[in-house]
Amino acid sequence: MKTVEQVRQDMPVLSKYIFLNAGSLCPTPTPVMDTFFTAYQEWHERGAGLSKHYEEMRDVVTDQTRAKLAQLVNCDPLELALTSNATEGVNIVAWGIDWQPQDEVIITTGEHPANSVVWMYNEERLGIKLRFLPVYTNTEEIIANYASLLNERTRLVSFSHVLSANGHILPVEQMTAMAHAAGAMVIIDGAHAVGQMPVDLRQIDCDFYTLNGHKWLFGPAGTGALYVRHDRVEEVRPTFMGDVGYKQFDYREGGSYTPPPGARRYEYATRNWAVMPALNTAIDYVNDIGIDNIRERVKTLTHNFKQGLLKLPYLVNWSPMDPEQSAGLVCFGFKGYNAKEIYAYLEAQGICPRFINDDLLRVSIGYFTLEAELDKLLQALESYLNTH
């Protein structure tokens, strides 16, 4: 098991800043970066354009990563398409379904643009009807409102496993079961779940699940995956086609095209294959820490930080207080204070959360975060409130 100090040594940026924005882009550990740089250099030194080396990276190396990722989230490797990010996965599903006018899609009011803008665009372009589930409330109210939105016209429900703004862990199994009972499909945005907590896709039983590698998985930017349950593959047609996602075709008039089995059909073109062995190393890195160890440490740190926040005046808290419903994302502000000005004050001291808007800040708490760093943040916030 990798200790907190070992992980911090692999992230040089932590010696410069109190880095609290892994929810946007996590520091990549040195072993992961080394794998990427070495893989890219060796690939080109051998001759990246030579068929045997190109195909090795495209097929063998990516399939190794696919298999390791499938093991992490408990699914069949054939059910995973390797993407550039979670947003790409949402778009594959959004554009691949044969929508009918007035099909209803439910999304939450807490979705990242990755899981909201495409549905708004489809409403405008294709005539689907978009309905919104309020989520900045307690779980019981969320479920009650959700039940009232589901009906025979609901074609799909799209929601986050963990809300990106405030870290609320939604009851994804219950919500998936309710959607299926209504005859609807489910896509879950897992950008803030995978790498932060155990994720079991067989247990959740959703139809689609998207994730990325550049947040809590410690992977490089440009990595992600889309899970398409085996019985849904034929219902989501590829939007982009190319020389990767085919099984066979011929160019003759009247010729045919046969896609490969499983979700690989959604992979369509040349990419920087060297990011795949780096993602492979990142998954090993997370497994070496232990996903349960990550979850327990982050849960404790987050709970203690919230208790500290409660002692500050003028607090406006947007995150759930129940540790079991909360991931390592905390959203808050202070009544009568401009969050952008608070952010500038913190950044000048080397404390780096995320500025969301004029009212709110977000703190991302990772396995590598120290209790002492969070204490310094609380002290800085108290000092600001006392002097401004």
Model confidence pLDDT, tens digit, residues 365-374? 999 999 999 9
Residue 98 to residue 77: CA distance in whole angstroms: 25
What is the pTM for the complete model shown? 0.96
Residue 199: band (very low, low, confident or very high) from pLDDT cuts 50, 70, 90: very high
Residue 272 to residue 12: CA distance in whole angstroms: 25
Half-sphere exposure at residue 320, Cβ-oriented, CA atoms within 13 angstroms = 22
Q: Which domains does the chain have, with CATH numbers?
A: 32-287 (3.40.640.10), 291-387 (3.90.1150.10)
Q: Say how many C-beta atoms besides its own lie within 10 A of residue 45's C-beta.
A: 9
Least confident of 8-22, 52-66, 248-262: 248-262
* 139-143 average pLDDT score: 96
Residue 88 has pLDDT above 90, yes or no: yes
8 Å CB contact between 230 and 256: no
- Residue 174 has a pLDDT of 98
- Residue 269 has a pLDDT of 87
* 104-130 average pLDDT score: 96
The SS3 of residue 157 is: strand
- Residue 247 has a pLDDT of 58
Query: What are 156-192's pLDDT values in tens digits?
Result: 999 999 999 999 999 999 999 999 999 999 999 999 9
Quick one: which of 170, 161, 90 has its CA closest to 136?
170
Tokens representing residue 374 in the block: 């969070």
Do the bridges between strand 185-189 and strand 154-160 make them parallel or antiparallel, or are there none, so unpaired? parallel
Higher pLDDT, residue 294 or 239: 294
Residue 121: band (very low, low, confident or very high) from pLDDT cuts 50, 70, 90: very high
Residue 249 has pLDDT above 70, yes or no: no
Query: Using CB atoms within 10 A of its CB, is residue 246 exposed (0-12), middle (13-18) or buried (19+)?
Result: middle
- Residue 243 has a pLDDT of 73
Residue 215: band (very low, low, confident or very high) from pLDDT cuts 50, 70, 90: very high
Residue 213 has pLDDT above 90, yes or no: yes
Tokens representing residue 235 in the block: 């219902």
